[in-house]
Amino acid sequence: MWFAKVKETYGDNLQVEWKPFLLSQANSKEGPDWKAWEHTGDSPSMSLLDMRAGEAARRQGNEEFTKFHLALLKARHEDRKDLTNPDVIMEAAEASALDIARFREDLADEAILDDLAQSHTHAVEEYGVFGVPTLLFPSGAVAFLKAYRPADEDAVEMFESLLSGAGKWNQIGEIKRPQPPWPKGVFK
């Protein structure tokens, strides 16, 4: 959510391309031959509904996808809604002013699963992605980021610090805060 503030400030000077990455695949204990995109009917949590919905929204254009993506992030991280609930997905689609008939049709298109599989596999094989969000910087540096939402007035500074550190220095392998209690003072 904090990244939306950064994008607001930078406008067209910051290009962001969100790509799907399946945590259900990355965190699977099923072994290397098991593929999340082949088991979407196994349970609501395995439906990949949110990921499929994102790709259905993307088919309506980048601006539409961006609005929908932000609506999903808000639903999940601010409103604590369940993204396996079809009603939550439809609320986000309607709030984003998507063409709902087209969205429903695209959401049902099984070819989206191939797109998800390809995106996930590419991220793992090309960049070593293991979690989200993972950022690919213009320098070619790649970094996974575990962060909590900063105050709106600190979002740009936090991004710029990340850009100048992780975006530039591939020699930084990991920075981790001691736990517990962490992050001390972040939550009030």
Q: Is residue 4 part of a domain?
A: no
pLDDT value, residue 169: 85
Same domain, 42 and 102: yes
- Domain stops at, among 128, 148, 177: 128
- Domain stops at, among 104, 128, 152: 128
pLDDT value, residue 41: 82
pLDDT value, residue 40: 86
The count of domains in the chain is 2
Q: Give the rounded distance of the alpha carbon of 176 from its chain centre.
A: 21
Same domain, 117 and 34: yes
Same domain, 108 and 138: no
Same domain, 92 and 139: no
Same domain, 112 and 170: no
Least Cα distance to 118 among 16, 35, 17 occurs for: 35
- DSSP letters of 45-71? GGS-HHHHHHHHHHTT-HHHHHHHHHH
Q: Is residue 113 part of a domain?
A: yes
Q: Is residue 175 part of a domain?
A: yes
Least Cα distance to 28 among 142, 110, 125, 120 occurs for: 120
pLDDT value, residue 176: 75
Same domain, 67 and 30: yes
Same domain, 66 and 92: yes
Q: Is residue 51 part of a domain?
A: yes
Same domain, 119 and 75: yes
- Domain stops at, among 82, 102, 128: 128
Same domain, 35 and 64: yes
Same domain, 109 and 64: yes
Residue 66: which domain range? 18-128
Q: Is residue 7 part of a domain?
A: no
pLDDT value, residue 23: 93
pLDDT value, residue 178: 66
Q: Is residue 66 part of a domain?
A: yes
pLDDT value, residue 184: 63
Distance CA 155, CA 153 (A): 6
pLDDT value, residue 125: 95
pTM: 0.87
pLDDT value, residue 180: 61
Same domain, 111 and 152: no
Same domain, 124 and 141: no
What is the mean pLDDT, run by run of 10 residues, along the chain of 188 residues?
90 91 93 92 84 97 96 94 96 98 97 97 95 90 88 94 89 75 62
